[in-house]
Structure 1
Amino acid sequence: MGEIALIDNFIPRTDVVKRAARIGAEVRKIKLSGDLPDQTISAINGLLLEHKVIFFRDQGHLDDAEQERFALRLGSLMPSPTVGAKKGTMSMFDIDSARGGIWTDNWHIDLAYVDAYPKILVLRGVVIPPVGGDTMWSNTATAYLDLSPSLRRLADDLWAVHSHAFDFADVTRPSEADEKLYYERLARARFETEHPVVRVHPETGERTLVLGFYVKRFVDIPKYDGQRLFDLFQSHIIAPENTVRWNWKQGDVAIWDNRATMHYAAKDYGNQRRVVRRAALDGEVPVSVDGRYSVARVKDIKQPPPNVV
């Protein structure tokens, strides 16, 4: 009740507009910055836990430095383990369609191939194409609740191996430059982590499904059966009624709970350029329903070069 009162006192409910029944809300009349009062930051975090992803229009005043200052109010910054931070920033990851080498048009949890993957992502629209380029998010907590009791019990017992090494058969027609950039990153570090398929959210206590593009196999399950299990559980996660879609404008900011969502950025903008910049916040090592922690296996780590633009 205290958290609800805090939201109502510092962000009026009339300024919070739901975008879909199960996930997503637009928050209006707030200018994001690193100087917001503590109570407003707490209210933003409360809305994030409630709606899983929240959106802010008209944040064109933000630059890279101020985006990071704001993100720091929600946690500790986490640089990408495979790509260095954008020059002049501590953690900013520049996602520029003109450079390639990044595949976001798959349902995924950001950096799920490491054990303590980010808890929160703050994404800012910098260059938005005139058409296309929407991002979709899904609610992995309600997806879990949609499962029958017997399927929930099955999911509770399953573990999956997540890795950033993938077969290019899973990626739509990569260019030669994309493949070269990918293998350069893979040569610097190889990440593989065993996560529970169901984790307990450390703040809400909800059970959420941990799947997506980085899953390579299930632990102790033959590949043939594992693929069918993956398709079964993933279908609940990406069911249309469990998703929200955001039509970007320049200066928009999206903040999502990476512990309770998956997302997908549509590549439907042809040869137009799309640039978004992401700040990630340190997350917790997932805990299964029976209290076991995710297990990471990291090999051949080398310092990534700056993600210079």
Structure 2
Amino acid sequence: MTLTADRPAAAGAPGVAAPAVHQLGGQLGARIDGVHLGDDLTAEQVATIRAALLTHKVVFLRDQHDLDDDAHARFAERLGPLTTAHPTVNTGSARVLRVTANRGMAANSWHTDVTFVDRVPAISVLRAVTLPPYGGTTVWANTAAAYASLPAPLRALADGLWAVHTNSYDYAQLDEEHDQPDANYSRDDFTSTVFETRHPVVRVHPETGERSLVLGNFVKRIEGLTSAESHQVFHLFQNRITRLENTLRWSWQPGDVAIWDNRATQHYAVADFDEHPREMRRITVAGDVPVSVDGERSVVLQGDARAYARLDELIS
């Protein structure tokens, strides 16, 4: 199912308004109007959201003001089995990760969620709880479009590369100028268990068949290269992902929910709101183990993520 700009989705059950899907950018992004992510969400509406997600990579819904943690989780589970909140961080919640960014703590680097484990989440669902009076936008990039835009020689190079990802290279960097006793988690929490996983630089999407680049700030090194070579090759492909033409920026409003395909995107939380608090809540849908263009699966080098997400739940 392909959804195009300003074209409403097909009508579902009688008496239920069909969501309207509005394309926001040339490479990714759509806003879905006319749907509430509550318990009355129909199967047809869920199918429309999922189809829009696969097409546009990230979708946004406004005015979801009455969505609490439980309702958030119930909706996310309509998209697939859920992971725990995080592989290492004890959030006090089984499924919900509090993402705070105040007093210098922010996810302000390009990343795909949790690529340091083998079972990379398929989908992330993020809702705004507390927003700063200015700034605090989030930018997404389309990693499938980035791969497709590569010249043939660079695609051939990327197809054969593998990279080691680790949580020791955490994107949530603490500002050393501030003591942060009220931060919701620290770098020590994040790396309380160290994970390293060998992923293909190019994975095949299990639903769309698209090839996409698997990089971001959790990458420790490109295998088979010197440190200098690894750095240069990483930035060669990473810079292709984050070209402005390949991105979409979202300005948050109270009640907003963002849903993105974590298998085909990276994102960056812009830390431009000074000392103001910003809190989001994230729930992730379990994914599979990435597969290379040659059919080879990612390999765990360190750490055991079975408590984070069970792969057998994905088998239908």
Do they superpose with TM above 0.5?
yes
| Paired AA for residue 82 in structure 2 | L
Instruction: Classify 1:300/1:259 alpha carbon distance in 2 versus 1 (closer, same or farther; 3 Å).
Output: closer
Counterparts in 2 of 1:243 and 1:3: CA distance versus 1, 3 Å? closer
The partner residue of 1:30 within 35, 38, 44 is 35
Q: Which moved more, 1:128-137 or 1:34-43?
A: 34-43
Instruction: Give the whole-Å Cα distance in 1 for the aligned partners of 2:228 and 2:18.
Output: 51
Counterpart in 1 of 2:153? 150
Q: What SS class does the counterpart of residue 274 from structure 2 fall into?
A: coil
| TM-superposed deviation, 1:134 | 0.2
Q: What CA distance in whole angstroms lies between the structure 2 residues aligned with 1:122 and 1:296?
A: 26
**Matched ranges for 1:175-186 at <5 A:** 175-177=178-180, 181-186=186-191
Between the aligned partners of 1:24 and 1:2, the Cα distance in structure 2 is 13
Partners of 2:304 and 2:215 lie apart in 1 by 25
C-alpha deviation, 1:2, in angstroms: 9.3
Query: 1:9 and 1:154, CA in 2 relative to 1: closer, same or farther beyond 3 A?
Result: same
Per the alignment, residue 279 of structure 2 pairs with 275
TM-score (norm 1): 0.89
Q: What is aligned with 2:132?
A: 129
Change in Cα spacing, 1:291 to 1:71, as seen in structure 2 (3 Å) is same
- Preserved contact between residue 34 and residue 71 of structure 1 (Cα < 8 Å): no
CA separation in 2, counterparts of 1:122 and 1:134?
16
The aligned length equals 298
1:59-208 superposed matches below 5 A: 59-79=64-84, 80-87=86-93, 90-98=94-102, 103-166=106-169, 171=173, 173-174=175-176, 175-177=178-180, 181-186=186-191, 188-208=192-212
> Taking structure 1 as reference, are residues 282 and 26 closer, same or farther at Cα in structure 2, changes over 3 Å only?
same
Name whichever of 270-279 and 76-85 sits farther off. 76-85
How far is the alpha carbon of 1:25 from its aligned partner?
Answer: 0.5
Q: 1-side partners of 2:243 and 2:175: how far apart?
A: 26
TM-score by length of 2: 0.87
> Which residue of 218, 221, 224 maps to 2:222?
218
Structure-2 separation of matches of 1:172 and 1:69: 32
Q: Deviations over 1:24-73 (max 9, x none)?
A: 00011111124311121111100000000000010001001000000000
Q: Quote the Cα distance in structure 1 between the aligned partners of 2:194 and 2:278.
A: 28
Question: Secondary structure in 2 aligned to 1:49?
Answer: helix
> Considering only aligned residues, what root-mean-square deviation do their CA atoms show, in Å?
2.7
Q: CA deviation at 1:184?
A: 3.7
Deviation (angstroms), 1:16: 1.6
Match of 1:307 in 2: none
Q: Is the 8 A contact 1:6 1:39 kept in 2?
A: no
SS of residue paired to 1:95: strand
Question: Is the aligned partner of 1:21 residue 2:26?
Answer: yes
The answer for the alignment partner of 2:301 in structure 1 is 297
What's the % identity of the aligned pairs?
44
Task: Give ranges in structure 2 of 5+ residues lacking alignment.
Answer: 309-316
- Structure-to-structure mapping, 1:225-240, within 5 angstroms: 225-240=229-244
SS in 2 for 1:273: coil
Unmatched 5+ stretches in structure 1: 305-309
Contact 1:24 1:244 in 2 (8 A): yes
Which of the pair is proportionally richer in helix?
Answer: 1
What is the alpha-carbon distance in structure 2 between the residues aligned to residue 223 and residue 167 of structure 1?
Answer: 19
- Kept in 2, the 8 Å contact 1:200–1:208? The answer is yes
Q: Which moved more, 1:66-75 or 1:159-168?
A: 159-168
Q: Distance in 1 between matches of 2:300 and 2:131?
A: 36
2:66 maps to amino acid:
H
Q: Distance in 1 between matches of 2:55 and 2:153?
A: 27
The structure 1 segments of at least 4 consecutive aligned residues displaced by more than 6 Å after TM superposition are 2-6
Amino acid at match of 1:54: V
